[in-house]
Amino acid sequence: MINNGMVTYFDYKEALEVAQKLKKPLMLDFTGINCVNCRKMETQVWSDPEVMKLLKEEFVIASLFVDVHDGSVMLPVAEQFYSEDLGKQVETLGDLNTHLQVSRFGSNSQPNYFFLDGKEERLLQEGYGYNPAKGVKEFKEWLHKAIEAYKKR
């Protein structure tokens, strides 16, 4: 999807492949269709011209929606599995994204951002979550930290 000139992917594996090919860090954006704080982050922080420039030019972004559960996003039966972390069968794209967030990052809040290199290793140990006290300046600093960590690898 293209949003304000920014390309985002909805599939983790596809985004990872693109990040590896372009030699850019991967930003995982765990989000939700019905997530009010996610929309606030996008409209109040991502919309900043400097933040938008960094996101467009320096990262590959995977927007991983955790609340997509309708029939149009069912996983093929061969890809469905039981998640011990969720205590249920993973059947939808939303389930798969939730499983990834919980099992790999120990988090289940949105929005939450994690940064990976091409080997799927974390660039920063902690994720960046929504907090009204945090603003554009702090998010830009976080993005710069992820870029620096990527360049050191």
Domain ranges of the chain: 2-151
- Give the per-residue pLDDT at 72: 75
Q: How far is it, in rounded angstroms, from Cα 46 to Cα 113?
A: 12
Topology classification of domain 2-151? Glutaredoxin (3.40.30)
The size of the chain, in residues, is 153
Confidence of residue 3 (pLDDT cuts 50, 70, 90): low
- Give the per-residue pLDDT at 75: 93
- Give the per-residue pLDDT at 6: 85
Name the residue among 38, 62, 60, 7 with its Cα closest to residue 112: 38
Confidence of residue 1 (pLDDT cuts 50, 70, 90): low
Confidence of residue 71 (pLDDT cuts 50, 70, 90): confident
